Amino acid sequence: MKSIISGSILAAAMAAISLPAMAEGTLDGLPGELSANVAFVNDYRFRGITQSDEDPAIQGGLDYSAELTEGFGLYIGAWGSSVDFNDGDEASIEID
């Protein structure tokens, strides 16, 4: 019973701080903007299936966007999350 209460308190605390920390800026000499984000989540789920074995996960992303000419632009992004599929393999990170 004590571990259920402790887990509930931990999950509530993680949910309270799961708001993403975001940063934006420009790159010296390059057109466009660079942005980054970080989030702590209490369970990483994809299509309703846990990807972190119902444990907390840390996630983050990095994006670059630029309008190169009128009507033409560029967008590049990367995102990652800690994972635990609990299936015997050693996967611990997902990168998209």
Query: 57-92, pLDDT tens digit by residue?
Result: 999 999 999 988 888 999 999 999 999 888 777 888
At 46-60, the pLDDT tens digits run 999 888 988 899 999
Q: Could you count the other beta carbons within 10 Å of the beta carbon of residue 47?
A: 5
Task: Look at residue 14 in the predicted model and tell me its pLDDT.
Answer: 53
- Dist CA 96 CA 83 (whole Å): 13
pTM of the model as a whole: 0.62
What is the total count of domains within the chain?
1
Domain of 37 in residue numbering reads as 2-95
Half-sphere exposure of 52 (CA within 13 A, CB side): 17
